[in-house]
Amino acid sequence: MTQKEAIEYTINLAKKATDNEIRPNPFVGAVILDPEGQIMGEGFHQKIGGPHAEVFAIEQALQKTTDLSRATLYVSLEPCSHYGKTPPCADLIIQHKIKKVVIASLDPNPKVAGVEILKANGIEVVIINELKSKFLNARFFTNQIKKRPYFILKFASTIDGKIADYAKSSKWISNASSRQFAHDHLRSNVDAILTSYKTVIEDQSSLTIRNGHGEIKETNVIVIDKELVLLQEQFATLPIFYARTKSKIIFITSAAPAFQLPENITIVIGEFNEKGLVFSSVSSQLLELGMYKILTEAGSQLNSNLIDQCVADEMYWFIAPSILNDSSALSMLGINTTRALGNKVSLSLIEVKTLEEDVVLHYRFK
């Protein structure tokens, strides 16, 4: 196995993990090769608080030999060097006298100094800076470097980009398969759904997760509500206020309320301007609440603001095979500003798929 093949192998190993099982940790895969390039051991990080990829790989290799001094460890992310829920992997590598470590990408966590520690102990280190590894851990890198949640935007529109008709009716633009995909693959794999109080009122949605058998699961919801309109008595029977057992509704508002709130409601104080919420004002607070990965399900203003403030990371666009052809219908995007073509927002296409007759475009914001 060549170096390139080994790095690719570690990334594919890392992909075996489920984001929900490891978040907020990164995806990591590791493989140990003997001097002839044969696999001695491999592993991936499977569960938060559980052994790291390097531990699995080393333990497996030790079943074949007690001497790893001529072996090379390939890992998709820099080995940790600090005590967290598990001991440092760098110490384990040093302990077993592994000759060489090849790293696909460095860890942006400032607590990690694995490269320096390995080099200081006479271990040869090679850093590849493999983009595939960074893309795989885009959520982790965003949390660590930008100190904010990772935002995924979701739209369902007609071919001409309309998300509702002139009367604000949107049920249903996308088909049943698209809606089920949103539950199974989007709502189920984030820490919260972000929306606005207007969308909650208009859609009368509970924003739960419904599996293919009709079973309902709770999920956290973040509602942007500057004046806490939804907490008025007239909205007390909205579906979003179902009896929660483990999830929360997080209200982003401009000031704390003067009245007592239920245990399942949390307040985050944010800064607002004429366009709406300034997302940088709440980023650290949301991370502290464990909101590392957020899906937005809202109208054009909220999604447009996320894009305008450069905090949108991914986008799923469900396109139904229909055209409204009505300028008074609601568009999926657009804010009250002018922008020259040279200032357009660029995206990279990740995947295209069809769900019955709907087309799903999955993009990454550059």
Give me the count of residues in the chain: 366
How buried is 32 (Cβ within 10 angstroms: 0-12 exposed, 13-18 middle, 19+ buried)?
Answer: buried
Catalytic residue ranges: 54
Asked if 64 and 41 touch (Cβ cutoff 8 Å), the reply is yes
Q: Which of 220, 196, 216 lies closest to 290 in space, CA to CA? A: 220
Strand 347-355 relative to strand 209-210: parallel, antiparallel, unpaired?
Answer: unpaired
- Residues 6+ positions from 198 with CB-CB distance below 8 Å: 299
Between CA 363 and CA 197 the distance in angstroms is: 27
Between CA 31 and CA 12 the distance in angstroms is: 11
Sign for the CA dihedral angle at 255, 256, 259, 265 comes to positive
Token pair, residue 245, equals 């057992």
